[in-house]
Amino acid sequence: MYTPSSEFNTHIQVLLEAFLKSDKIEEVTIKKGSKYPITDRVFCIQKGVFPVYMNREDRLLSYAEGPTIFGLAYLYTPTIDHYIKTNKTSTILTLSIEEARRIIKEENLYESFICIQSHNVGLLFEMYERTITSSNYAFIRALLIDLDQSSNAVKESVTVASYIIKRSGLSRSYVMLVLSELRKGDYIHMEDGKLTGITSLPERF
């Protein structure tokens, strides 16, 4: 499992505090179930869990969990077509790319910027390493491990079936079949549809 560097938490707090002091930061309310596009902005999350989707196929990409900052890649690359869709009405703080770039430059926060981006790239590589496979079951197995290693806040916010279906694009019937067999074999433990633990997972199904 990818582990952030010991300096990551320090750098995320430094950059968050610098952004939050800006008089141009905006508070945005995202209504339950609605889509909020992630375009040309930097997003600051102090706490909470926010599902991030790709517009293509409406595929769940990951969960942004505070404290974190995302959208920093937009400072130097074109906008990626993503959106946030929450399970409950939530608020998020955001500021323009231009303002974020100004703060980083004027306060010489490039080390923090690089550390956070390196962390994000590390998470991305881990995600692809786990999920690029020709086997549907191997995909489900990788996502179960990923969910099991997530924070309690993430695990409590989503059912196992929903998490796998939204991230994999596999059919509900197949996912439910696999989960049912894994529960029967005592490989996984669930309560109210949510993952509570993994005993072990067979390599093949």
Crossing angle of helices 160-168 and 136-148, in 10° steps, is: 130
CATH class of domain segment(s) 134-198 = mainly alpha
pLDDT for position 2: 58
Residues of the chain with CATH 1.10.10: 134-198
Name the CATH code of domain 8-130 (choices 2.60.120.10, 2.30.110.10, 3.40.50.300, 1.10.150.120). 2.60.120.10
pLDDT, tens only, 139-177:
899 899 989 988 898 999 899 999 999 888 889 999 999
Task: Report d(CA 88, CA 126) in Å as an integer.
Answer: 28
Identity of residue 4:
P
Crossing angle of helices 110-131 and 8-20, in 10° steps, is: 120
Across the chain, mean pLDDT equals 87
pLDDT, tens only, 66-111:
888 988 888 887 766 788 888 888 888 999 999 999 999 999 999 9
Residues of the chain with CATH 2.60.120.10: 8-130
pLDDT, tens only, 168-200:
888 999 999 999 999 999 999 999 999 999 998
**DSSP codes of every residue in 112-151:** HHHHHHHHHHHHHHHHHHHH--S-HHHHHHHHHHHHHTS-
pTM score above 0.95: no
Residue 10: alpha-carbon gap to chain centroid: 20
Residues 6+ apart with CB under 8 A from 131: 139, 142, 143, 167, 168
pLDDT for position 182: 95
| Element containing residue 190 per DSSP (H, E) | strand 188-191
Residues 6+ apart with CB under 8 A from 12: 67, 68, 69, 112, 116
Residue 19: alpha-carbon gap to chain centroid: 21
pLDDT for position 3: 67
Residues 6+ apart with CB under 8 A from 81: 39, 54, 55, 56
pLDDT, tens only, 1-55:
556 677 888 999 999 999 999 999 999 988 888 888 888 889 998 888 888 888 7
